[in-house]
A = this chain, B = another copy of it.
Amino acid sequence: MRDAPTPTWDYVRDGAEIYRQSFATIRAEADLTGLPGDLAPVVVRMIHACGMVDLPADVAASPGAVRQARQALRDGAPVLCDAQMVASGITRSRLPADNDVVCTLSDPQVPELAARLGTTRSAAALELWRPRLAGAVVAIGNAPTALFHLLEMLAAGAPRPAAVVGIPVGFIGAAESKAALATGGHGVPYLVVHGRRGGSAMTAAAVNAIADVRE
- A interface residues, Cβ below 8 angstroms from B: 6-9, 11-15, 18, 21-22, 25-26, 48-52, 84-85, 87-89, 118-123, 144-145, 148, 151-152, 155-156, 169-174, 176-177, 180, 185, 195-201, 204
CA A25 to CA B7, docked complex, whole Å: 43
Q: Which residues of B contact A170 (CB under 8 A)?
A: 22, 48, 51
Given contacts A171-B22, A171-B25, contact A201 B204 (CB under 8 A): no
* B52 lies within 8 A of A197 (CB): yes
The residue in chain B whose Cβ has the minimal distance to the Cβ of A199 is: B201
* Those 8 A-B pairs whose CB atoms lie nearest each other, nearest first: A51-B196, A88-B88, A13-B119, A25-B171, A15-B120, A22-B171, A51-B169, A85-B88
Nearest neighbor of A198 in chain B, beta-carbon distance: B51
Find chain B residues with CB under 8 A from A198 CB: 51
Query: Closest chain B residue to A87 by CB distance?
Result: B88
**Most chain-B CB neighbours within 10 Å: which of A84, A156, A173?**
A173
Contact B13 A51 (CB under 8 A): no
